[in-house]
Amino acid sequence: MSIQQRLETLALTTTMALPERVQRLLAGKPVLIDGQTLAPEIQLMLRLQRLARMPGAETLPFPEARTLVDTQAVMAGGSQPIGAVRDFEAAGIPMRLYTPTGAADPTPMLVFFHGGGFMYGSLDSHDASCRLLAEEAGARVLSVDYRMAPEHVFPAGHEDAVTAYRWAVDNAASLGADPARLAVGGDSAGGNLAAYVALEAARADLPLAFQLLVYPITDVAATTRSRGLFADGFYLTADFIDLANRTYAADPADPRISVLHADLPAGLAPAYVATAGFDPLRDEGEAYSRKLADAGLSVELQRFPDLIHSFFNLVGVGRRSPAAVREMAGKLRAGLAAGER
């Protein structure tokens, strides 16, 4: 990290740690939309980004955009403790295994897919969040670096996700994981991949105990109310979504990517679905949760009404986002403990 980036990180960390009353003063008039009030620390962060004229990833060439996404995530992720980290390649796919402090074999394990619109993100962009999940849930986390657009279009990422999960099932013992306590999870595009893997696991009768779906993409061509309400100004923009759709998804109606329209197989794993109040993807994530519930499946939906898309990466700054991700880790811990019984 450069000196400038270190200074920017210090400024972000300091600003996000200010007392809430000070943040409210600096952020300006409260943002109230759809009966929800944006968290003052998030409003202040967005205001500072606008003042700094920070470009959106969708406005940059892909190499620059990927660097920006990773750099921003590292700045906001902080230094999260972890017992051990190991990078390796399996089935032709780069992976990173996080082992929580004091783990004794075998432990539960989450197979995780990062977000980024199927175009951006990496093992590094979600390193801090994976560390926090592993430590707080007491589970190993296997992070998967699947192929992305524009170099690799649909269904490349989805194929990699299934391949990685099958490999994890076959090699659970060597990873120190309990094959009876495996979960899949991810955020945004990664949540879409996790949901797809869960569907494929049920169809193939592969063991899977739990799904952790964080503001997942579930309907590529959605025209929901939340997509209109939060199309601009809340980090994830309509332009970003349009670019992702054009770049990766050849057929938005394909149920492999628009999982909201997929047939639900028997034996689908229980799910926890988290959404953010100020997120264009909010309504489709909640619609998928209702679809699972209407089919009689075990699902818990939790909306964090004062947060935005990508709060999952803000685990090293502020108070609201780290608390929300810790809460998710608790749900993961509980879900995998239930799978043990």
- Taking the C-alpha atoms of residue 337 and residue 341, their distance in angstroms, rounded to an integer, is 7
In the DSSP assignment, the letter for residue 262 is S
- Taking the C-alpha atoms of residue 9 and residue 175, their distance in angstroms, rounded to an integer, is 34
Handedness of CA 64, 47, 247, 195 (dihedral sign): positive
Q: Which residue has the tokens 């799910």?
A: 271
Count CB-CB contacts under 10 A for residue 3: 7
Q: Which residues are catalytic?
A: 188, 279, 309
Q: Does residue 119 contact residue 62 with C-beta atoms inside 8 Å?
A: yes
In the DSSP assignment, the letter for residue 297 is -
pLDDT tens digits for the chain (341 residues)?
A: 677 777 778 888 899 999 999 999 999 999 999 999 999 999 999 998 898 888 999 999 999 999 999 999 999 999 999 999 999 999 999 999 999 999 999 999 999 999 999 999 999 999 999 999 999 999 999 999 999 999 999 999 999 999 999 999 999 999 999 999 999 999 999 999 999 999 999 999 999 999 999 999 999 999 999 999 999 999 999 999 999 999 998 788 899 999 999 999 999 999 999 999 999 999 999 999 999 999 999 999 999 999 999 999 999 999 999 999 999 999 999 999 975 64
**Residue 1 pLDDT:** 62
In the DSSP assignment, the letter for residue 176 is T
Q: Could you tell me the pTM of the whole model?
A: 0.96
- Taking the C-alpha atoms of residue 60 and residue 243, their distance in angstroms, rounded to an integer, is 11
**Cα–Cα nearest to 150, from 73, 244, 238:** 244
At residue 219's C-alpha, the angle toward residues 236 and 235, to 5°, is 5
Q: Which domains does the chain have, with CATH numbers?
A: 78-340 (3.40.50.1820)
For 25, 26, 51, 71, 167, the CA distances from 21, given in Å and listed in that order, are: 6, 9, 21, 29, 50
**Residue 339 pLDDT:** 58
Written as six digits, the tokens of 143 are: 């992070």
- Taking the C-alpha atoms of residue 180 and residue 327, their distance in angstroms, rounded to an integer, is 23
Q: Does residue 284 contact residue 155 with C-beta atoms inside 8 Å?
A: no
Q: DSSP H helical segments within the chain, as ranges?
A: 3-16, 20-27, 40-51, 62-77, 127-137, 156-170, 189-204, 225-229, 238-248, 282-294, 320-340
Written as six digits, the tokens of 133 are: 């999940």
